[in-house]
């Protein structure tokens, strides 16, 4: 009996030791590599579509940098940049980004790609907004108290949505305006299940389309619906732990011809149209 206890404890201890050693050696390896480690805070839309799954390994291969992708809303991504908790950012909230740039918190900011926002809603379109200019469509939704799902998470999409409400000359305060507080994929599925309207980026919509019953694109193509992504470095002044070289290399990588031509065709095969356009 005593032996069994002892062996149990010994096994546990061995496990801890083995894994402990494993961790440190792995950490050191990447620490001494040319590029070291880098934290990329990015929007969920670029991550959920799988674009970064394809691009990041290429970058890691080229530079030896180990990239940690933290997929959050643009709001949180920018906040992480502001605090110096990330090294590079990929976001789609141009106005908020410009503020950070003006404060010197982010540098080397470049436009890398765009797609567009669309209004998705039930294909029977109870509020009859299909085909209207987006501001009119929003005003109509507010008037009729249409069921609208907002991400409400301070993401780029959420910011854009709030802009449209204010352009539409109405406020987003009506009974059927609901905030999900979740990412685009989840919000789209909630809208689909509950038969409501939502504003989404086209990439995530296409990516999720097969899970979305009876949800159709109702408004698209307006100039105000352009969705622009920027890549940028966090200012190395914010924290001495920022990996400036890696972040700079990352920006260069995103702007490189190979990457841009990859983005141009990404998704074409699977969804019949590209998810992102380059500039």
Partner 1 sequence: MELIWSGLVEAFKMIIQLDNEVLQITLLTLKVCFISTFISTLIGLPAGMVLAFKNFAGKQLLLLIVHAGMGLPPVVAGLWVTMFLWRSGPLGDLQWLFTPQAIVAAQVVVSLPIIISLTYSAFKKIDYALILQIKSLGPTTVQKVYLYIKEARFGIMAAIMAGLGRVLAEVGAAMMVGGNLRGETRILTTAMVMEVSRGNFHIALALSFILMAIALIITFILLHLQQRRFTP
- Sign of the alpha-carbon torsion through 34, 40, 272, 255: negative
CB of 208 to partner 1, least distance (A): 5
Best CA proximity match to 3, nearest among 28, 135, 11, 223: 11
191 in contact with partner 1 (CB under 8 A): no
Residue carrying structure tokens 């970058």: 59
* Structure-token match 């105000």, residue found: 224
Strand partners, 226: 116
| Identified binder of partner 1 from the candidate list 29, 83, 103, 171, rule CB under 8 A | 83
Angle subtended by helix axes 257-265 and 51-63, to nearest 10: 160
> Least distance (Å) from partner 1 to the CB of residue 59?
14
3-state secondary structure (DSSP) of residue 179: strand
Is residue 89 a contact partner of residue 255, using CB atoms and an 8 Å limit? no
Which runs of E-coded beta strand occur in 208-250? 215-219, 226-234
Which DSSP state fits 274? -
**How many residues bind partner 1, per CB under 8 A?**
32
169 part of the interface to partner 1, by CB under 8 A:
no
Residue 70 or 278: the one with the smaller Cβ distance to partner 1 is: 70
What part of residues 108-167 is at the interface with partner 1 (CB under 8 A)?
none
Which member of 3, 4, 32, 175 binds partner 1 (CB under 8 A)? 4
Does 19 bind partner 1 (CB under 8 A)? Our answer is yes
CB closer to partner 1, 28 vs 166 = 28
| Site for partner 1 contains 68 (CB under 8 A) | yes
Chain residues binding partner 1 by CB under 8 A are 1, 4, 8, 12, 15-16, 19, 23, 27, 37, 39, 44, 48, 53, 68-71, 83-85, 182-183, 185-186, 189, 207-208, 210-211, 239, 241
């Amino acid at each position: 009996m005593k032996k069994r206890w002892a062996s149990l404890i010994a096994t546990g201890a061995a496990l801890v030791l083995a894994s402990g050693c494993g961790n440190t050696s792995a950490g050191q390896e990447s620490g001494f590599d040319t590029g070291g480690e880098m934290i990329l805070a990015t929007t969920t839309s670029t991550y959920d579509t799988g674009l970064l799954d394809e691009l990041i390994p290429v970058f890691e291969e080229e530079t030896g940098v180990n990239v940690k992708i933290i997929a959050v809303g643009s709001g949180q991504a920018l906040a992480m940049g502001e605090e110096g908790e990330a090294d590079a950012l990929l976001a789609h909230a141009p106005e908020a980004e410009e503020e950070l740039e003006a404060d010197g918190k982010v540098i080397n900011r470049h436009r890398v790609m765009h797609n567009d926002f669309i209004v998705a809603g039930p294909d029977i379109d109870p509020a009859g907004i299909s085909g209207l200019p987006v501001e009119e469509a929003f005003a109509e939704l507010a008037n009729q108290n249409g069921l609208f799902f907002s991400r409400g998470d301070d993401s780029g999409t959420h910011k854009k949505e709030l802009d449209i409400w204010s352009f539409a000359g109405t406020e987003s305060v009506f009974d059927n305006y609901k905030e999900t507080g979740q990412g685009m994929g989840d919000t789209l599925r909630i809208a689909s299940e509950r038969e409501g309207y939502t504003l989404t980026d086209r990439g995530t919509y296409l990516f999720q389309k097969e899970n979305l019953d009876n949800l159709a694109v109702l408004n698209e193509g307006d100039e105000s619906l352009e969705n622009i992504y920027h890549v940028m470095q966090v200012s190395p002044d914010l924290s001495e732990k920022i990996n400036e070289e890696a972040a700079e290399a990352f920006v260069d990588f995103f702007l490189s011809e190979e990457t841009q031509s990859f983005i141009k065709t990404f998704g074409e095969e699977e969804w019949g149209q590209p998810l992102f356009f380059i500039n």
